[in-house]
């Protein structure tokens, strides 16, 4: 274990676990979590797991890389890493992100403005290994020495004389999963260097060249999405069964039967939800159905495989998987003859289909894609349905999904909705494009294995928890029920686990839900409260 200040060289030379996290060094949380006793312990990996898998970074594990059995195997993997790196750095093989990657590798002035913008670095008590530039510098050093073959004097002067060996590669793989790709660092950089992009490209290298990726986002994620229809494993029949259940459930709740339109040719909108909503937060797609029905929106859902799950995990780690899913989404929209695709409350799906896929969708596949939020804004603000804000008379704060605000600039519509229908809405600070990630970004929310969830709730989501607590300090007593509005499935998953980890409902009365739930809760025609509070 490294006792002194960590340097890049340690990545390839230190034996065993590189750094040990100390909870007493973590960023302090506000009341009632301002004591050491209020911090849930971080679980350690068992000796059996440590022996079997590469986990020599910080004692946590996001990817399960089986330790190579021989030197030859290690060398083979290191060489593959170099092959992949060469591809990343060539226009022909990396046409998607070649230019921004080159710019970010070339121009970092090492001013460290980005460090204080990174919630993981700050929350960890400024642990060097999580500094946004640490990972980038490691990659830059490898590029300088092994690809550009700079002389040893240059490498010494830049402090970049590192050794590329298996230890370095294995630690880099894990380190590529200690950043949520929130890109707050890129936003604050005076010259636009994007450490989030460098992390993304590293993940890509590992997935596309070495077949190394967390199983939750690859094998059980995008692969399952393409094969079965959804990353949840939901097959077509299960989707049909689910919708049938939801229609019954809606009728029971609001006293009126609403049909959820499926595969309606020529509808104006193809609405795609993150399929996790159907399973874990069915009140969300149901709320969309109620609102769209009341407002007379001409839309359809798709029952085609992939068409009923908006997720596109490839966005986080693999351009090929990203393209496969995006093309399928567009093809389904084209076959249905809709005018546009509208993405439900899912941040990364917003970015994947609306922004990143734009260069992949050519010709008549380039169907307009939109966020659901401005459509909802139009319905609420222009009073297309009857709403009574008094029905949302409890404190509410809003979490901004990074992909909606920072990446796409969708900032005001969700606020105009809440200002109209939630009289006790208050902002968390900072918010909008300056927001902090929920801690579950880039796949972390759906990686529940071993002790990784502890790292997420303890470190990567720590800043979000602080923000939520700060926003409610004046009403922190658990007898006052309050809501975090999080219009994104991944963010909801991370916030759900975060609140459970800190037992926050019991201690502070804080619960969470999406955005559409507030709208239906305020609907005059819906007599019973729509928002459900935890039962315990």
Residues of this chain that interact with another protein (CB under 8 A) are: 48-49, 64, 216, 220-221, 224-225, 228, 230-235, 237-238, 241-242, 245, 249, 274-280, 282-283, 309, 311, 346, 445-446, 448-450, 489-490, 493, 535-536
- The CB-of-231 to another protein minimum distance in angstroms stands at 4
- The CB-of-131 to another protein minimum distance in angstroms stands at 29
CA atoms of 489 and 332, how far apart (whole Å): 22
- The CB-of-200 to another protein minimum distance in angstroms stands at 19
Q: Say how far residue 169 (Cα) sits from the centre of its chain.
A: 24
Count of Cβ atoms closer than 10 Å to residue 186 Cβ: 21
Q: Which is nearer to another protein, 124 or 231 (CB)?
A: 231
Of 535, 458, 519, 520, the closest CA to residue 494 belongs to 458
Of 480, 530, 531, 434, the closest CA to residue 185 belongs to 434
Q: Which is nearer to another protein, 56 or 216 (CB)?
A: 216
- The CB-of-220 to another protein minimum distance in angstroms stands at 4
- The CB-of-270 to another protein minimum distance in angstroms stands at 19
Of 243, 298, 292, the closest CA to residue 269 belongs to 298
**What is the Cα Rg of the chain in Å?**
23
Residue 43 makes CB contacts below 8 A (sequence gap 6+) with: 450, 451, 454
Residue 129 makes CB contacts below 8 A (sequence gap 6+) with: 6, 18, 19, 57, 58, 175, 178
Q: Which is nearer to another protein, 138 or 305 (CB)?
A: 305
CA atoms of 526 and 388, how far apart (whole Å): 10
- The CB-of-495 to another protein minimum distance in angstroms stands at 13
Q: Which is nearer to another protein, 500 or 524 (CB)?
A: 500
Q: Which is nearer to another protein, 165 or 280 (CB)?
A: 280
- The CB-of-281 to another protein minimum distance in angstroms stands at 9
Of 272, 239, 280, the closest CA to residue 349 belongs to 272
- The CB-of-73 to another protein minimum distance in angstroms stands at 19
Q: Which is nearer to another protein, 489 or 513 (CB)?
A: 489
Specify the residue for token string 């946590």. 60
3-state secondary structure of 217: coil
Q: Which is nearer to another protein, 395 or 443 (CB)?
A: 443
CA atoms of 515 and 398, how far apart (whole Å): 9
Q: For 475, which DSSP code?
A: G
3-state secondary structure of 343: strand
Q: Which is nearer to another protein, 431 or 456 (CB)?
A: 456
Residue 56, φ and ψ in degrees, nearest 5: -95, 25
Q: Which is nearer to another protein, 234 or 476 (CB)?
A: 234
> In this structure, what token pair is assigned to residue 260?
């959820």
- The CB-of-47 to another protein minimum distance in angstroms stands at 13
């Amino acid at each position: 274990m490294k006792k002194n200040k960590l340097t890049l060289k340690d990545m390839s030379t230190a034996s065993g676990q590189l750094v040990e996290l100390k909870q007493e060094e973590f960023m302090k949380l506000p009341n009632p979590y301002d004591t050491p006793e209020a911090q849930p312990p971080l679980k350690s990996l068992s000796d059996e797991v440590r022996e079997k898998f590469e986990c020599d970074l910080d004692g946590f594990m996001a990817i399960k890389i089986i330790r190579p059995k021989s030197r030859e195997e290690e060398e083979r993997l290191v060489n593959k890493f170099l092959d992949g790196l060469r591809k990343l750095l060539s226009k022909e093989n990396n046409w998607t992100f070649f230019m921004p990657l080159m710019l970010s590798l070339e121009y970092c002035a090492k001013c460290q403005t980005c460090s204080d913008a990174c919630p993981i670095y700050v929350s960890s008590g400024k642990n060097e290994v999580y500094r946004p530039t640490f990972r980038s510098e490691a990659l830059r050093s490898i590029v300088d020495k092994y690809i550009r073959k700079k002389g040893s004097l240059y490498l010494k002067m830049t402090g970049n004389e590192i050794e590329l060996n298996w230890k370095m590669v294995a630690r880099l793989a894990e380190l590529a999963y200690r950043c949520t790709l929130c890109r707050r660092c890129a936003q604050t950089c005076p010259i636009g260097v994007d450490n989030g992009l460098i992390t993304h490209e590293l993940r890509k290298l590992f997935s596309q060249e070495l077949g190394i990726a967390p199983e939750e986002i690859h094998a059980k994620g995008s692969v399952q999405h393409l094969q079965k229809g959804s990353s949840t494993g939901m097959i077509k029949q299960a989707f049909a069964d689910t919708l049938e259940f939801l229609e019954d459930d809606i009728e029971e709740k609001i006293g009126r039967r609403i049909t959820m339109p499926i595969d309606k040719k020529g509808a104006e909108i193809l609405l795609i939800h993150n399929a996790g909503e159907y399973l874990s937060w069915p009140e969300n797609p149901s709320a969309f159905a109620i609102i769209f029905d009341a407002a007379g929106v001409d839309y359809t859902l798709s029952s085609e495989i992939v068409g009923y799950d908006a997720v596109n995990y490839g966005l986080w780690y693999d351009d090929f998987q990203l393209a496969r899913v995006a093309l399928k989404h567009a093809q389904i929209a084209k076959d249905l003859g809709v005018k546009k695709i509208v993405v439900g409350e899912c941040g990364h799906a917003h970015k994947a289909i609306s922004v990143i896929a734009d260069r992949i969708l050519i010709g008549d596949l380039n169907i307009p894609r939109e966020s659901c939020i401005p459509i909802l804004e139009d319905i609420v603000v222009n009073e297309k349905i009857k709403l009574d804000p008094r029905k949302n008379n409890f404190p509410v704060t809003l979490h901004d999904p990074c992909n909606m605000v920072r990446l796409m600039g969708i900032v005001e519509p969700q606020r105009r909705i809440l200002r109209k229908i939630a009289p006790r809405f208050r902002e968390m600070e900072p918010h909008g494009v300056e927001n902090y990630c929920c801690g579950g970004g880039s796949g972390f929310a759906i990686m529940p294995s071993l002790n990784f969830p502890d790292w997420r709730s303890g470190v990567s989501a720590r800043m979000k928890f602080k923000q939520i607590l700060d926003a409610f300090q004046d009403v922190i007593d658990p007898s006052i029920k309050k809501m975090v509005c999080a219009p994104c499935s991944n963010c909801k998953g991370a916030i759900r686990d975060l609140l459970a980890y800190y037992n926050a409902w019991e201690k502070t009365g804080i619960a969470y839900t999406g955005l559409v739930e507030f709208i239906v809760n305020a609907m005059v025609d819906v007599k019973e409260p729509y928002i459900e509070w935890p039962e315990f």
